[in-house]
Amino acid sequence: MRRRLPPLEQIEAFIEAAEAPSFRVAAERCALSPAAFSRRIQAFSSFVGLPMFERRPGGLRLTEAGRRCLSQLKPAYLELRRAAASVVEAPGEAQSVTLSLSHSLAVGWLIPRLDAFRAAHPEIELSIKTQRGAGDMRSGEADLGICYADIDLGGLVSQPLLDVCVTPVAAPAVAAAFQARGGRLETQRLLSVAYPGGLWSWWARETGMDTPLPPAATYDLLHAMYEMPSEGFGVALAATPTVWPHLDSGRLVRLDLPFAATPGGYRLAAPADRRRRSAVGAVWRWLESEADRTRSLTPARIAA
């Protein structure tokens, strides 16, 4: 008798559990409660007849059987997802496109432009996944993405999209006190993002600052970092284009210090088969046009 396959939802749960930092995160990715997610993992282990995970110091880890299953199942699972997503779009029907990008770029640059996108492309349902890396594009969960230059985009079609410049910013009261006291950064509590690291040192070298700067307090999310100086806690090294909403609102102001252009900036990327879809191509071209508009306005805003 031919042995049946495990249900696809069990395979999906197992792959997510194997690659997520915790079962809780994996359950969220599958839109399941922790209890329901655990039942799927248990059912998959029962089907295989071997334990897939074992408890070790620091959390659950794959067993040897689990590692074998992952290496054999994941390529087939991803290929099935890609094949399902590449089904020809029916004319006249709403077309769904998923865009992956960092939380900070989504909040600070993309979301304020979504009304314009909907007006230009009412036939496309654009969904957003906030992830800094390219994993969602490779897994088939995102059709295209915007990634910073330090992200590996090997195997994907990509091109430059947005330039990034950085400069110190602070709340208006902190900026006024900073100028009144001689503008010495070494006396300030400096804030930065964790990735890419060492930005304050890089900025100091690029702008010819000779004074050693104290280590910066770092944050995983750029937008979360902006909230700290907005409330008066320190001086942040802000990046365009994500800082513009905070400067436009007056919550943050520049410290009359120079901008420095980072190498690489943001890149637009997609798997080659997804890039050929008409709806994905339309989103790609719209992002290019919005990036061109941003680029045309940046020099005047930097000089202001």
Does 303 have pLDDT greater than 60? no
- Summary mean pLDDT of the chain: 85
User: What domains can you pick out in the chain, each with its CATH number?
Assistant: 8-85 (1.10.10.10), 97-163+266-303 (3.40.190.10), 168-261 (3.40.190.10)
Q: Is the pLDDT of residue 239 over 70?
A: yes
Q: Is 197 helix (H, G, I), strand (E, B) or coil?
A: coil
Please check the confidence at residue 201 and state whether its pLDDT lies above 80: yes
What is the distance between the alpha carbons of residues 126 and 240, in angstroms, rounded to a whole number?
A: 24
**Pair 260, 207: CB distance under 8 Å:** yes
**How sure is the predictor about 264, in pLDDT bands with cuts at 50, 70 and 90?**
confident
- Residues 34-45 have a mean pLDDT of 89
Rounded CA-CA distance 260/166 in Å is 5
- 63-72 mean pLDDT: 90
User: How far out from the chain centre does Cα 27 lie?
Assistant: 20
pLDDT in tens, 164-174: 888 999 999 99
Please say if the pLDDT value at position 228 is more than 50: yes
How much is the pLDDT for 1? 37
Distance CA 72, CA 163 (A): 40
Q: What long-range pairs does 58-67 form, CB within 8 A, spacing at least 24? A: 59/22, 60/17, 60/23, 62/18, 66/14, 66/18
Q: Quick one: tokens of 263?
A: 């190498």
- Summarised one tens digit per residue, pLDDT across range 284-301 is 999 999 998 888 776 556
- AA identity, residue 53: F
Helix spans in the chain (H): 8-19, 23-29, 34-48, 64-85, 103-105, 114-120, 135-139, 172-180, 199-206, 222-230, 244-249, 272-275, 278-303
Reading the block at residue 256, the tokens are 């009359």
**What percentage of the chain carries pLDDT values higher than 90?**
28
